[in-house]
Amino acid sequence: MPNNHKENAKIFKAFCDETRLMVLSLLQSGEKCACVLLEQVNVGQPTLSHHMRILVDSGVVSARKQGKWTHYSISKSGSAKAKELLDLLTTVNESENEIGCCNE
Amino acid sequence: MPNNHKENAKIFKAFCDETRLMVLSLLQSGEKCACVLLEQVNVGQPTLSHHMRILVDSGVVSARKQGKWTHYSISKSGSAKAKELLDLLTTVNESENEIGCCNE
DNA sequence: TAAACATATCGAATAAAATCAATATGAGGT
DNA sequence: ACCTCATATTGATTTTATTCGATATGTTTA
C-alpha cells in the first residue's frame, strides 16, 4: 500500500477552497502582488497570507519577493504536475482479475 | 465577480483527503462494492459512507445500486470534467493590460 | 414474516481549517 | 536612526470536516 496519498491530497487542497479558487482566477491574467489580490478578495490580510501559503505549498502558485512586495503567479510546472496527478488518479485500468463485490 | 467557485471547489474536495484518494486508487482497477472498499480502507462503515457521498457528489465517482450492494466506480465523464476544470483554472492568459502591483 | 445483511443517516465528539485582531519582520524612504 | 508600508506570524475564536456509535432503511434469504 504505497501512501503518497497524504502528499497528493496537499496538492489538491489548493483547489478545494472558494477563496483560493478566486485567487487563482485572478492570477490567470498574470502575476499579481499580494496587495492587488487583497483588494479583490473579500478576506483580511492575514487570511490572504494564509491562503497564499497553502497555494505556494501546493506548488501550483509560486511567489517572487521583490522589496516590500510579494508577487504571486501560477506555476506552469506546478499546475502541470497537478494535471498529471489528476490524470493518474482517475485512470481506470480495467484488468482481467476483477472482483466487483464480496460475493461475486 | 462570477462565483461558481464554491461549486468548483466541491469537485476538488474529492481529491483533497487521504482516505478518498485511497478509495479512488482502489477504484482504478474497476468497479467495487462498498464492502470491498471497507475491507481495504482503514475507517468505519459510516465514515466510508460519508466519504463515498462526497466522492459521488463531486461527480468523480458514480454509484450503482444493485440489491443490497452499492457498486462504486470512477466516472469517466466526471473525471473528464474535473480535468477540464483544472485546465481552465490554471491557464494563464497573459494579456496586454497587465497590472503586476499597486505601484507599477 | 422474521432474521440477516449492506448501506445510509443521525447525533455527538473530536480534529482541522478558516478567520481575525494584534504584533512581528523586514524593506524603503525621509 | 526613524517612520512607513507590505507581508508574515501568532494566538484565540469560530466554522467546517472527520469520525464513531447507535439506529434506520431497504434487500435478500430462510
State the pLDDT at residue B72.
Answer: 98
Q: Which of A24, A16, A25 is nearest to B10 (CA)?
A: A16
Cβ pairs bridging A and B (under 8 Å): 144
Q: Which helix (H) or strand (E) holds B17?
A: none
More confident residue, B16 or A103: B16
Would you say A28 and A21 are in contact if contact means Cβ atoms under 8 Å apart?
no
From B94, B97, B101, residue closest to A69, measured CB to CB: B101
Task: Strand D: list positions under 7 Å from protein Cβ.
Answer: 5-11, 17-22, 26-28
Q: How many helical (H) and strand (E) elements, i.e. helices and strands, does chain A have?
A: 5, 3
What pLDDT does residue A42 have? 94
How high is the pLDDT of residue A1? 36
Percent of chain A with pLDDT over 70: 88
Q: Is the pLDDT confidence value at B73 over 80?
A: yes
Q: Determine the residue type at B75.
A: S
Res B18: pLDDT: 96
Alpha helices for A41-96 (secondary structure H) = 45-58, 76-90
Element (H, E) at A7: helix A5-13
Q: How far apart are CA B102 and CA A34, in angstroms?
A: 9
CB–CB contact B92 A28 (8 Å): yes
B77-104: per-residue pLDDT in tens? 999 999 999 999 999 997 756 666 666 5
- Most A CBs within 10 Å: which of B5, B22, B75, as the mutation test of the A interface? B5
CA dihedral B79, B45, B10, A74 (to 10 degrees): -70
A9 with B28: Cβ contact below 8 A: no
- Residue B83: name the closest of A29, A21, A90 by CA: A90
Task: Verify whether the Cβ–Cβ distance A94 to B18 is below 8 Å.
Answer: no
| Chain B closest-CA separation from residue A19 CA (Å) | 8
Q: H-type helices in chain B, by residue range?
A: 5-13, 18-27, 34-40, 45-58, 76-90
pLDDT at B100: 62
CATH number for the region A5-80 comes to 1.10.10.10
Residue at the smallest CA–C1' distance to nucleotide C29: A68
**Which CATH number, 3.40.50.12280, 1.10.10.10, 1.10.10.60, 2.60.40.1930, labels domain B5-79?**
1.10.10.10
Q: Which residues contact A68 (CB under 8 A, 6 or more apart)?
A: none
Q: Would you list the domain boundaries of chain A?
A: 5-80
Low-confidence ranges of chain A (pLDDT < 70): 1-3, 96-104
Dihedral sign for Cα B74, B79, B57, A23, please: positive
Using CB atoms, which residue from B8, B28, B101 is nearest to A33? B101
| A47 neighbors A61 (Cβ within 8 angstroms) | no
In one letter, which amino acid is A48? L
Which of A54, A73, A89, A91 has the highest number of chain B CBs within 10 A, making it the mutation to test binding with B? A89
pLDDT of residue B103: 60
CA of B49, C1' of C4: distance in angstroms: 20
**What cell numbers appear for B2 in the block?**
462570477
pLDDT value at residue B21: 98
